[in-house]
Amino acid sequence: MTEHGMTTTGDIALAAEGVHLYYGQVEALKGVTMTMPRRRITALIGPSGCGKSTFLRCFNRMNDVIEGVSVDGVLTVDGEDIYRPEVDLERLRKRVGMVFQKSNPFPMSIRDNITFGPRMAGISDRARLAEILERSLKQADLLGEVKDRLEDSALDLSGGQQQRLCIARALANEPEILLLDEPASALDPISTAKIEETLLQLKERYTIVIVTHNLQQAARIADITAFFMLGELVELAPTEVMFTKPGKKLTEDYITGRFG
């Protein structure tokens, strides 16, 4: 790792260079440049409306579905410019999975939630689907809790279980990268701890980027932290440095609770 938390080229999973994003005439991202290392957890922090969720959604092009959005600059996944016209969005979103703030299990069984993506991708072999089901639930640390309930509705699970189910559903598509937009904001402390434990285990195999309002959460699980303010990247640093010796007074003011 180099100065300011940047990484060498071979370690970079995601990168942004001079990224501006507009909602119509409103500039939501203002020239963001940063890299996110492979198989590490990068946390995006900052007050509400600062652009961190907008930035996160750039990497699987979820902002494309919003009318009037335009993006300038370069965004890459493993060095590939993902905003080229010929990019296959279905393939991109398979490589870059996403888990949202509000858990959104499909109104179907636990089994069908997990196997939905693989079946849509053309996998029909029952043994293969069973392997994907077990692996994904195990990776999301949910298998032991639901292995005897696979035919039950996913909507019968607790809030924390539903969110881990959504993580498992994303993992079933075998992504390389996992984006999470405040995945624990609506959960109780015990469920939040379970999600954090799951993410720490997952980073051994996946690159993870998480938006969080919870500064303690960022300090607990992130390797790298990026502080956003009013659409700008104020500071990017290893998490320990960010929370003990921030380089900018604005960062220090936010972390110590003077605003936000």
Question: pLDDT, tens digit, for every residue of 97-111?
Answer: 999 999 999 999 999
Structural domain contains residue 207: yes
Q: What is the dihedral of CA 32, 218, 77, 234, to 10 degrees?
A: 10
Structural domain contains residue 41: yes
Domain containing 230: what range? 3-107+176-255
Structural domain contains residue 157: no
CATH code for position 55: 3.40.50.300
Average pLDDT value over all residues in the chain = 94
| 156 DSSP assignment | G
Give the confidence band of 9 by pLDDT, cuts at 50, 70, 90.
low
For the segment 224-256, what is each residue's pLDDT rounded down to a tens digit?
A: 999 999 999 999 999 999 999 999 999 999 999
CB 113 within 8 A of CB 150: no
Q: Phi and psi (nearest 5°) for 170?
A: -65, -40
For the segment 127-138, what is each residue's pLDDT rounded down to a tens digit?
A: 999 999 999 999
Distance between CA atoms of 137 and 149, rounded to whole angstroms? 12
pTM of the model: 0.93
Total domains, the chain: 1
Q: What is the dihedral of CA 255, 47, 177, 119, to 10 degrees?
A: 140
Structural domain contains residue 129: no
For the segment 110-162, what is each residue's pLDDT rounded down to a tens digit?
A: 999 999 999 999 999 999 999 999 999 999 999 999 999 999 999 999 999 99
Give the confidence band of 179 by pLDDT, cuts at 50, 70, 90.
very high
The pLDDT score that the predictor gives to residue 13 is 97
Structural domain contains residue 102: yes
Structural domain contains residue 146: no
pLDDT at 1 over 80: no
